[in-house]
Structure 1
């Protein structure tokens, strides 16, 4: 018998300005591994918090059964908290320490429960994910993004959860850690809800649930089934719209021909009546009957025209719901020179081991994917290429303009609205043009005027991408560090399409092999025990 862990009963979330983020949601979540998908800004993370009991809905209720473990999207917001706190077991360790010092408070014994070996369990868990060097009392600020995510994921194992709610768990994980996460989740025996845009991870799910302005909709099957179904729906919606427009054009043509025939009949009737020299009273009666008939015809035609237009409008709503965001391909100066950037005997700061030294030449039009485990120096390398970090030694030569997008989106001021920051870098574009660009990536007027820091992770990333891409003058060198993190699936598709048509030199860091495989890359740069290795893609 299927066991239900979570039930949404008419759940709504109303924002402070009165807008409904989502409304009247009804859904159940059982032991099936479920992926929650949807556009950036639709409220997936808010819904996950409601399901986990971290937030109350404005209306409706959420019924929970069993022990729920929740992993937030931003796992290391408090840089001063400890590794044990990030793993969610600091309260147990603190109670154990107080008991060991002679404290006999019953609350401490209740907190510990059956977990008298939690120190050893945490240590063993860290060792199992190659974090044996991490001190459980160390601050989170000492960890990399990937290390912090791995520690947070350990909390699910250590807290004996019945149901897991994981919000973007693969963000910041390298390829090895992503594979380990998928392997662990495949072996998980409890219930599971994953909020994610990771297409490989979603491929392991047993069903996909999509959150949209229309509500929640469940798709039986994994991501491949969901993607095929949505593709068929988009095609069907477009066909319906095309057919309804053709029907309206034909209907309008028929109405015009009908009016023209009526007009000709009326004119012929007036001529015939005049030629017959009829009495004025009879002529007046004929005129009234003709006008009455014409009036009824206009009413019928107006009703038919409204019906045809309503059919088109309804079909257009279906297409609008399915429309994908669009990132316009940025202008790029076509660089024909053989060398656009070079690192000569460069020693990278903050990097240990063989990958701290690098020699690299980038040619015009080259498309380079940088892969490898966390901590190997990929982001540091990008910052050196972007001129944001100086090497410890060696020479850096970049002979063209570059645009850089880092993982922390530091090119955006979180206190300022997006539209203002766009104007600063694209001075020749009108505000209407900038608004159109923002609308095409899914940011409407109500989002572009609020401080950027209040936007969702995906909305901020799309804004930062656009900010980097529209800067004037156009850039022939594009440096992207994990650009797919936080993007919804439709936006990932749009980004892939845009980058496929980018004519400048591209360097992109990513752990998402599906994403990288779609960019038509020419080369791969990856770390080895002997240093950096360049090879054809």
Structure 2
């Protein structure tokens, strides 16, 4: 079907009800093709998508939406009792079709069906294309409740619903979260085959390498965010940014040198003027110069000195202004800085004994397998087991908070002996600085929630010696993801991590891999463990 060429935003201004500004006079054009929406957590990516989807109303400005809109949210919250066809929004058409087929139809049934006579066949074909054919492969399966699907399968089902509606504009917010490798490849293929305006917010580097345009949402010093467009994929975008940053660093070096030079010249000028003044005063005291002439010379010298000081002072001010402008060009990419407490587990120390998993020493275990294979179920069972050391579990849904309380208050709950000053100092390393630590958890973005969750488990008392993490890189921006890797690679306790993010798993260098893929025997693959480098081998 034909699609319009672009989605445009003009003079868009939006602030939250408490007055916190997000966008001010924002204008941007999202062209036909795939645009990757990138930026740090909290910069406003999901907020922009919600504005584009009309879930939020701007205080000023307009959005030009060509045709039908589809929007897939970051967190899919489906009623487990809903049948699949209801999620696909074809239940009323199916009911009308069945009435027509049984000969009990009314005129309204034909109106409901319209031209969608093959909607069931198209739905099954699309479900199969996205890898759900083994679960929803027949017409009867369209009646099954969605509660029987895993989180990743529910995401694919929700994507199927959007694609089935054939929208002119499709907005996707972190669509690869919770998807295994095979499911991600199917989603990539669906993205590649979409012909309209597609805007996808993602930290998935593989997905971002497939886009046509990068739209960077970046917070400015003013407190609001702007959007800057870059042609090409993520690698091309990074090349432009890296070149700009190198030029900015060179400009800063030159500007600093100029400031030092102008400051030295100002000091030298002041010294020379002081010498001249002392000499003139000495001559006057010794009456070598007539008083009238001495006074005239003194006034002239003072005027000249004032002008000279003003000239050099202006040069210093200009140099400092140039330095400030150059520093504004240098990105202030905030990064998570985690100093983990004493968490060392000694070799041979029993960490956890369980029917399915036995952990000894500082093992780093990767838990892999397709969606629905039981990774989360296994982690939950381990969370209830009797561990030999303090441990913490980070669930996939991050439902470990008191949503009505602040970030700092949630940390205080698990670190009762820490002072308020210490808690705030530690939270600053997780980018909750100043008043950010007083944010109510319910108001946090997806990435901010993950940072708060990491802080809650890592700053707990006593310090955890075993971490169990379920898809920890979901919603984490690319920079913070790397610093999570760095933090985990300094962690001297035991780790068991369920993840579909293969580059992330490779970076933390698991010593053992447990594969829950059906028919994958043995469960603990010695071959897999042998092929995976240890931390020492990967350094």
**TM-score tier (shorter):** 0.7 to 0.9
Q: CA deviation at 1:113?
A: 2.4
Query: TM-score scaled by structure 2?
Result: 0.86
Equivalent residue, structure 2, for 1:487: 476
- Matching residue within 346, 360, 363 for 1:363: 360
Name the CA distance, whole Å, in 2 between partners of 1:24 and 1:66.
Answer: 24
Q: CA deviation at 1:405?
A: 1.2
1:248 aligns with 2:259: yes
Equivalent residue, structure 1, for 2:512: 523
Equivalent residue, structure 2, for 1:354: none
1:346-402 per-position Cα deviation (integer Å, ceiling 9, x unaligned): 1xxxxxxxxxxx2x333333222221112222222223333xx35xxxxx5x32222
Equivalent residue, structure 2, for 1:39: 40
Contact 2:85 2:91 in 1 (8 A): yes
Q: CA deviation at 1:493?
A: 2.1
1:262 aligns with 2:273: yes
1:310-336 per-position Cα deviation (integer Å, ceiling 9, x unaligned): 2232233222x4423123231233222
1:145 aligns with 2:151: yes
Deviating more after overlay: 370-379 vs 467-476: 467-476
Deviating more after overlay: 288-297 vs 328-337: 288-297
Contact 2:37 2:215 in 1 (8 A): yes
Name the CA distance, whole Å, in 1 between partners of 2:218 and 2:23.
Answer: 8
Name the CA distance, whole Å, in 2 between partners of 1:245 and 1:166.
Answer: 44
Equivalent residue, structure 1, for 2:161: 155
1:333 aligns with 2:348: no
Equivalent residue, structure 1, for 2:50: 49
1:179 aligns with 2:185: yes
- Matching residue within 257, 263, 275 for 2:286: 275
Equivalent residue, structure 2, for 1:425: 414
Q: CA deviation at 1:270?
A: 1.4
Equivalent residue, structure 2, for 1:461: 450
Contact 1:175 1:511 in 2 (8 A): yes
Alignment CA distance shift 1:364-1:13 (3 Å):
same
Alignment CA distance shift 1:502-1:127 (3 Å):
same
Name the CA distance, whole Å, in 2 between partners of 1:500 and 1:37.
Answer: 26
Equivalent residue, structure 1, for 2:59: 58
Q: Give the total of aligned pairs.
A: 514
Equivalent residue, structure 2, for 1:353: none
Name the CA distance, whole Å, in 2 between partners of 1:185 and 1:173.
Answer: 15
1:395-440 per-position Cα deviation (integer Å, ceiling 9, x unaligned): x5x3222222111212222111101222333456554554454444
Equivalent residue, structure 2, for 1:349: none
1:533 aligns with 2:535: no
Q: CA deviation at 1:95?
A: 5.2
1:60-86 per-position Cα deviation (integer Å, ceiling 9, x unaligned): 111122332221112225555443333
1:191 aligns with 2:201: no
Equivalent residue, structure 1, for 2:302: 291
Equivalent residue, structure 2, for 1:393: none
- SS at 1:45 equivalent: helix
- SS at 1:518 equivalent: helix
Name the CA distance, whole Å, in 1 between partners of 2:295 and 2:30.
Answer: 74
Name the CA distance, whole Å, in 1 between partners of 2:89 and 2:366.
Answer: 35
- SS at 1:370 equivalent: strand
Alignment CA distance shift 1:407-1:283 (3 Å):
same
Name the CA distance, whole Å, in 2 between partners of 1:279 and 1:313.
Answer: 50
Give structure 2 stretches of 5+ with no counterpart.
220-224, 533-539
1:460-483 per-position Cα deviation (integer Å, ceiling 9, x unaligned): 111111221222333222222111
1:205 aligns with 2:211: yes
1:443-462 to structure 2, matched below 5 A, reads: 443-462=432-451
Deviating more after overlay: 239-248 vs 250-259: 239-248
Contact 2:347 2:362 in 1 (8 A): no
Name the CA distance, whole Å, in 1 between partners of 2:288 and 2:123.
Answer: 109
1:35-88 per-position Cα deviation (integer Å, ceiling 9, x unaligned): 111121222122223333444332211112233222111222555544333323
Contact 1:329 1:499 in 2 (8 A): no
Equivalent residue, structure 2, for 1:402: 391
Query: TM-score scaled by structure 1?
Result: 0.87
1:376 aligns with 2:376: no
